[in-house]
Structure 1
Amino acid sequence: MADEWDGKKLSLHPEEGRFDSGIAESVQFLNEDEVSRLQSLPEEGSPKSEASHPYETEATDKICELQDLERIDSSYGSSSLTESLPQSCLPTSGAPETGSLGTEQINSLTYLSEEGDTLLHLSIIHTIPELSQYIISLAPKEVLDIQNDLFQCPLHLAVYLGQVQVVEALVGKRVNLELQDRKGDTALHLACENQDLDCASRLLRGPRGPQNLQLQNWRGLCCLHIATLKRNHDLISLLLESGANINCQEGTSGKTPLHLAVEMLDRSLLHHLLQHRPLVDAFMYNGCTPLHLAVGRKDAGLARLLCQAGADILQRNREGDTPQDLAEGNNQLLALLPFDDLMISGKPVVTSA
C-alpha cells in the first residue's frame, strides 16, 4: 500500500517552476478512476482520516491546487482570475500597509509565471484595474518594477494597453520610469508610439520628477523623434514643454527632428518645430543640415521656411557641398539661394553703402 501511494505522490508533483502554463500537462496522466478515488478520500477530522495513509490528505490538496492553477492559466475574465486567488490576496475594505503584509500575500505578489509575469502583470493583461490598483497599493516599489521575460515592467503593459488609472497609480508609487523593454523602449516611448497623450502627460508630470528624455531605444530614437515621426504636434509640444531637447540627434545618422520633418516633406510639421527655435543649421553625422536635405529633395517650400529661419546657404557638408551647390540647375531653388561671387573662407562678404 505504501509503495502504491509513493508512486501516486511522486506523479502528482507538477513540473518545477511551472505556474502560468503547462498545468494540463502535469495532470494528464491521471485517469478518471484515480481522480475519483483521490477525491473520495475522507475529509480531515473524520473517523477514517486518522487511520488513512499520511499521503492521502496531501494528494487531495495537490489536486485542488492544480485545478485552481489551471483556472488561472485559462481565465480571461476578471471573475475567474480573482476566484482562484487566496481570499487574503483580494481587496478588503481597506488596503493594509506594505510593511504589514503576510507571507502568503508577499509570495502571491512576487511569484513569477513561466513567462516571468507577476500577479500585477497578469491583472493588467487581463484588464482588471481594481485588482491592479489594489496590488499597487500593497506592493513595495521593488515588486512593481519587476520585468518579465520580455523586459516589460507593469508600467510598460499599462501604457501599451492604455490603462490610464493604473499608469497614474504606478507613477504615484514612484516606479522607475526609465526601465527599457527588449526593444529599448521606455513606457514613454510606448506612449509616444501609441500617440497616447493621457498616458504621456501622467508619465511626464509624476512626483518622481523629470526623467531622461534623451534616452534612446535600440533604433536610436528618443521620444521626441517618435512624436515627430508620428507627426503629432500636441505630443511634440508636450515633450518640449517637459524639457525634451529639440536638437536631439537620433543614433543612426544624427538626424534632429528638423531633419526628420524635411525627410517626410511635411511643411506644417517643419513650421511647428521652427516655432520652438531649434538650431536650424544642426548637422547630421555626414555634415548635412536640414537645408541640404530640403534642396536635395528639390522642395522649394521647405527650403523657403528654413531660409526664413536663418539657415546658412553656404554651409558645407562632409563632401564639401553647400545647399547652393546642390541647387545647381534648379531655378526655383536658386532664386531662394542667391549666389554671391565675393566670398572669403566660404562666406559671402556684405558691403555697406
Structure 2
Amino acid sequence: MASDDRRKDEPLEDGRADSGVDSYRSALRSEEPREPSADFSGPRDKFTAVEERLDSAYGSSSLTAESLSEIVGGCTLEEPARGSELSDREENLLTTITEDGDTILHLAIIHEDRFIAHQLMQLFPQDVLNIQNNLYQSPLHLATYLNLVDVVKGLVEKGASLELQDQEGNTALHVACQHGQTECAGEMTREASPSKLAPVLETQNWRGLACLHLAALHRQHHIMKLLVNKGADLNVQEGTSGKTALHLAAELHDVASVKLLLSRGANVDAAMFNGCTPLHLAVGRQDAAIAHLLCQSGADTMLRNMEDETALDLADGNDDILALFPFDDIQISGRSVVSVKF
C-alpha cells in the first residue's frame, strides 16, 4: 500500500498527463492548496486554479495557460466567409490534435480559460466543436463537467451536438444530471426543439441509464423537473433490470422524487423485468411512508412478481405497512369480502 501511495505522488513523466478532465485532476494532486476531493453524488467542487497544466501538447512541448493565449493571439477571430481560405496559423489551430485527441478548444476548457474558449468558438466551424478526444469527450462534455455555464451556452448556440456520447455512453446532458449541473442542463435544453431534444432524453448510457434515471439516482430534483417539463418519458425503463425513475426513487427512500413523479403522472404500477412494481420495492425495504404514497396514488396491491409474490407478501410483519393493505383479497362468488353487506 505504501508503494502505491508513493506512485500516486510521483511527478508525471514526460511532461504530460492523460487526456480530459481526469488528467487535469491528476495534475492537480501535488498542487497546494487544493479543494477537497469532489463528491460525484452531487454538484462538483470547483477545481483549484493553477498556473500550469501539463498535457500532451503541440510539438511535444508543455502547454501552459499562458501559451494558450500566445497560440490564439494574432488569429482572425471572426468566422471566415464562405469560400475564403484560412491562414496557415488558423489551419494549424483547426487541425492540430494532441496525442490524447484534444483540440486546443478542449485544452482551453480544461484550463477553464473562458475568454480563449469563447474566442475559439468564434473561429472554429461546427464540425471542430464536435471533435471528441480519446475518452470520447467533446468540448461540451468537458464544459458541463467543469460547470462552465457560459461556455456551455456558447457551444450550444454555435450548434454543438447534444447527442455525442463519451466512453461511458453519457451525453453532456447525462453529465449534467449526474453531477447536478442544473444551469448547464438549462442551457442545453432551453432553446432545443422537442424533435432535437427527444433523442437525447431517450439515449441510454452503457449502464442502460437515461438522463431521468441519473437525475433520480442522484436526487437532482430541479433537473428532474426540468427534464419532465421538456418531455422526458416518466416511464422509460433502464436497460439492466427495467426500473423506471419511480422504482429508483422508491429504492432510495426519496419521498420528494416519488411525490414529483406521481404528481406528473408516472405509472404507479410499472413493472420491472422481474415483475416488481414500485410498491414491491417500497414494502420490501420496509418504507411505510413511500408505500403509503403509492397506495394513495392507486397502486394495485395484488400484482404479483415473477416469484409469485404480492407486495403484501413482502411486508414481513411490519404493522405500519400491513395497515395499508385491506384484506380485500378474500372473495366470495367473485366479490371482495369487505364489500359484502351482511
TM range (shorter): 0.7 to 0.9
CA distance in 2, matches of 1:267, 1:187: 27
Q: Which residue of 2 aligns with 1:244?
A: 232
Q: Is 1:261 aligned with 2:246?
A: no
Aligned residues: 284
CA distance in 2, matches of 1:344, 1:313: 20
Distance 1:103 1:216, change over 3 A: same
CA distance in 2, matches of 1:124, 1:72: 19
User: Which blocks of at least 5 consecutive residues in structure 1 are unaligned?
Assistant: 1-20, 25-67
- Answer whether contact 2:207 2:239 (CA < 8 A) is retained: yes
Q: Which residue of 2 aligns with 1:118?
A: 103
CA distance in 2, matches of 1:123, 1:88: 17
User: How far is 1:123 from its partner?
Assistant: 1.4
User: How far is 1:351 from its partner?
Assistant: 5.2
- Answer whether contact 2:102 2:133 (CA < 8 A) is retained: yes
SS of the residue corresponding to residue 112 of structure 1 reads coil
SS of the residue corresponding to residue 100 of structure 1 reads coil
Structure 1: 4+ residue segments shifted above 4 A: 21-24, 68-72, 347-353
Alignment partner for residue 301 of structure 1, among 274, 289, 293? 289
Q: Is 1:100 aligned with 2:105?
A: no
Alignment partner for residue 210 of structure 1, among 197, 205, 212? 197
Alignment partner for residue 184 of structure 1, among 169, 173, 177? 169
Q: Is 1:197 aligned with 2:182?
A: yes
Q: Which residue of 1 aligns with 2:27?
A: none
Q: Which residue of 2 aligns with 1:42?
A: none
User: How far is 1:115 from its partner?
Assistant: 0.6
User: How far is 1:331 from its partner?
Assistant: 3.1
Query: Identical aligned pairs, as a percentage?
Result: 48
Q: Which residue of 2 aligns with 1:89?
A: 75
Distance 1:193 1:330, change over 3 A: closer
Alignment partner for residue 305 of structure 2, among 306, 312, 317? 317
Distance 1:207 1:100, change over 3 A: farther
User: How far is 1:324 from its partner?
Assistant: 2.2
- What is the letter of the counterpart of residue 167 of structure 1? V
- Answer whether contact 1:177 1:211 (CA < 8 A) is retained: no
Q: Which moved more, 1:329-338 or 1:95-104?
A: 95-104
- What is the letter of the counterpart of residue 67 of structure 2? S
Distance 1:310 1:86, change over 3 A: closer
TM-score (norm 2): 0.76
Distance 1:111 1:22, change over 3 A: farther
TM-score (norm 1): 0.73
CA distance in 1, matches of 2:172, 2:282: 33
User: How far is 1:128 from its partner?
Assistant: 2.1
Distance 1:344 1:106, change over 3 A: farther
- Answer whether contact 1:248 1:256 (CA < 8 A) is retained: yes
User: How far is 1:138 from its partner?
Assistant: 2.2
User: How far is 1:88 from its partner?
Assistant: 4.2
Distance 1:247 1:86, change over 3 A: closer
User: How far is 1:267 from its partner?
Assistant: 2.1
**Structure showing greater relative contact order (alpha-carbon pairs closer than 8 Å, 6 or more residues apart):** 2
- Answer whether contact 1:109 1:120 (CA < 8 A) is retained: no
CA distance in 2, matches of 1:274, 1:166: 35
Distance 1:348 1:215, change over 3 A: farther
CA distance in 2, matches of 1:195, 1:282: 26
User: How far is 1:159 from its partner?
Assistant: 0.8
Q: Which residue of 2 aligns with 1:164?
A: 149
- Answer whether contact 2:108 2:114 (CA < 8 A) is retained: yes
Alignment partner for residue 62 of structure 2, among 70, 73, 86? 73
Q: Is 1:342 aligned with 2:331?
A: yes
CA RMSD after TM alignment: 2.6
- Answer whether contact 1:172 1:207 (CA < 8 A) is retained: no
Q: Which has the larger radius of gyration?
A: 1
- What is the letter of the counterpart of residue 146 of structure 2? L
User: How far is 1:146 from its partner?
Assistant: 0.7
- Answer whether contact 2:198 2:231 (CA < 8 A) is retained: no
